[in-house]
A = this chain, B = another copy of it.
Amino acid sequence: MISKIEAKYIQSLHAKKNRDKEGVFVAEGEKVVQEFLKEKIIPVKLFATEKWALENKTIQGNFMKIASEDELQKAGFLKTPNQVLAIFPQQHHLFIPSKNKWILMLDEIQDPGNMGNMIRTADWFGWNHIIASKDCVDQYNPKVVQASMGSLSRIRVQYEALDHFLRETDLPVLGATLSGENIITLPKEKTGILIIGNEGKGIHENLKPFISKQITIPRIGKAESLNAATAFAIIASHLMKG
């Protein structure tokens, strides 16, 4: 059973300030919760249906409580019926810089779906470090957690003042714009920082002086722009070719 107090607590974690105060976040759905458990992250609390508990007998601990599907749906943020909801501690991965890895830098990404999708794509391509501006959507926003499909368990998202960070680095800095070098014919580079700008406004003016190369995805058709997460995925796939 999920008590009224517990349901209220889960709902309160919809707000970033409460998540940060408590140092936790909510993950929902079998696939997403499973990915965090696989990475050996111990939940603070885990509510699951009897069915889920039977299918996942290896998951045991004081953190676990049986709940009905109905209770899970009422307490959680998902609209679809669901078997499991867990409260996990926020992660503090160690940042290990590497001369063979790219760093993704996000400049005011607003849409949680885009943010989560980029975390998932970064994880696919083995880019495990993301630097986000302080006005990006929070990595623990329920919709971000959902769209990242568990990849948040492996990817470090660090919120920074981007201009300070860029001033200090000697890595090459690529910026995705609408008038740069063609990404498809670009020579391969092994490491660097790739900046993806805000969905509507692109990369902020104050960051442009730090860009060593502007890059562009060639347009054949007529769409005015690409979705930010889509642009990142295309660029990442071309940076790893060759």
* A126 and B221 within 8 A (CB): yes
What's the Cα separation between A134 and B221 when bound, in Å? 26
**A:114-134 near B, CB below 8 Å:** 117, 120-128
* A117 and B230 within 8 A (CB): yes
What's the Cα separation between A47 and B3 when bound, in Å? 47
| Chain B: CB-nearest residue to A217 | B237
* A124 and B220 within 8 A (CB): yes
B residues near A1, Cβ cutoff 8 Å: none
8 Å CB contact of A125 from B117, B126, B147, B220 = B220
8 Å CB contact of A120 from B117, B120, B184, B226 = B226
* A83 in the interface (beta carbon within 8 A): no
8 Å CB contact of A122 from B150, B154, B217, B221 = B221
What's the Cα separation between A184 and B120 when bound, in Å? 19
* A126 and B220 within 8 A (CB): yes
Mark A2-21 against chain B: 1 for CB-CB distance below 8 A, else 0: 00000000000000000000
8 Å CB contact of A230 from B222, B230, B241 = B230
